[in-house]
A and B are shown apart, each in its own frame.
Chain A
Amino acid sequence: MSAPEEDLLAAVPFGVLLSGVLRVLLAEERREEFVGDLVEQARADLADQPLPQIGLWLWGQTLHSAPSLLVARARRLARGATGLSHPGARPLPAVGSLLGYRAETRSWSLPMAISVSVHALALSVLFVATLGGMEELQAPWVRIGFPHPPSAAAALTIAPEVPPRLEARHHRKPRFTLRPIASVAPPAFAPVASASLTEAPIEDPEVREVIVILPPVVADKRCVSCPKPTLPPAFVRLGAEQRIDVKTCVGARGNVTSVDVVRGLGPLADAGVVDTVRNWRFTPHSVGDHPVPFCYPTRFVFTMN
């Protein structure tokens, strides 16, 4: 054999680099044994081979072993263990043990597992609730709410002119002006108008309604007579778009029950739009066999044309 007897690993081409690779792959207490095995086998099987051939074989053996050695070393590092040379070494707490996993018995601590499960469930509920709170940020959107179970919905009697109480369900301050609900008696000491921004309770069993919010593209298709509003000439500016956003609520018979300006241009321009929309007519919208009132956001964009 042409290899020197003192250090085969250092004699082969790129032997120093190979030593570095082995230093990465193996802990010190295992590296000596591993290299010893490689050298012993190389001297036994490749005795008549030139050094480059031996080096190639050593590189091949090392790289072939690299995946399993890397995984083993990563696991050992994750466990915080110091290796088999210190059998009494106590491993550091790993993520699994923090979650109640007992590696020595391959089982879970029941109290800890219950605690983790409850927290995971609570986080899931919070996540879903957060998504629900973001519902109104999505557009277009459709929301159908049943105040009563479907079995009771069959016996609903829908007051034709009861305005929808959409915002009463929201936790945030409503964006639109609410009107007092006919079947909810206002307090004797308060005028009716004072209830306009109050979030009316909806638990009243006498109030039976089906609330529908339609996206504009759906509501527009139900429109039978919808002449476009116009702006007073003074509002038409050259090269600038003018925009008015309103919320239109339509009764069960198809007539417009309310028009609320969400974003306007001023009392004069808004009044013209509101007066026009108030005369619109729609095909009634039905849920099941029952015509129901609905609301939808409407945007008017005025240009020079």
Chain B
Amino acid sequence: MLKEDIPGSFEQLVLLAVLRLRDQAYGMTVRAELEKRTGQPTSLGAVYTTLERLEGKGYLSSRATSGGAEREGRARRFFSVEQSGLVALQRALDVLDRMRADVPALRPVAVRA
């Protein structure tokens, strides 16, 4: 039986950030979304390596576009979450829910919309 992959915590955050950004998810915006939501400073390099790793797993897909004047013409790569990424993210969140359920020291699991 093959072991099912469960994305790590930072991978989960990046997947969620890409989902939240919809069609505006690329390195800089993903990093900004992470810093905004987590309140923690995040290096652009960590975001890039995680995006690359998730793309290697097939959880993300990307498309490169030419950049505008604000980027001095440098390319920009947009990311979007694939179905396998959604499944893996859902699996990870379910595991987290099951693990934290009925733990008195933690607040009850919030109902996800």
Contact = CB atoms under 8 A, between A and B. Distances in A.
Contacts of A105: 2
Given A37-B27, A37-B28, A40-B70, 12 more contacts: A26-B48, A33-B76, A34-B48, A36-B67, A38-B44, A43-B70, A64-B45, A65-B46, A68-B49, A72-B45, A72-B53, A107-B3
Nearest to A45: B32
Interface of B: 2-3, 5, 26-28, 31-32, 43-46, 48-49, 52-53, 55-56, 62, 64, 67, 69-72, 74-77
B72 A33 contact: no
Interface in A163-198: none
B71 A65 contact: no
Contacts of A7: 72
B43 A68 contact: yes
A6 interface: yes
A101 to B, nearest CB: 13
Contact of B72 (A8, A26, A107): A8
Contact of A84 (B28, B56, B75): B56
Contact of A71 (B5, B31, B49, B55): B49
A110 interface: no
B27 A72 contact: no
Nearest to B5: A106
A37 B27 CA distance: 7
B77 A33 contact: yes
Contact of A37 (B5, B44, B46, B55): B44
A106 B2 CA distance: 8
A64 B28 CA distance: 14
Chain B binding surface, main DSSP class: helix
Contacts of B2: 105-107
Given A36-B76, A107-B2, A30 B48 contact: yes
Interface in A213-231: none
Nearest to A7: B72
Contacts of B74: 32-33, 35-36, 39
A5 interface: yes
Contacts of B55: 84
B49 A69 contact: yes
Q: Which 5 A-B pairs have the closest CB atoms?
A: A65-B45, A36-B74, A37-B28, A72-B49, A36-B71
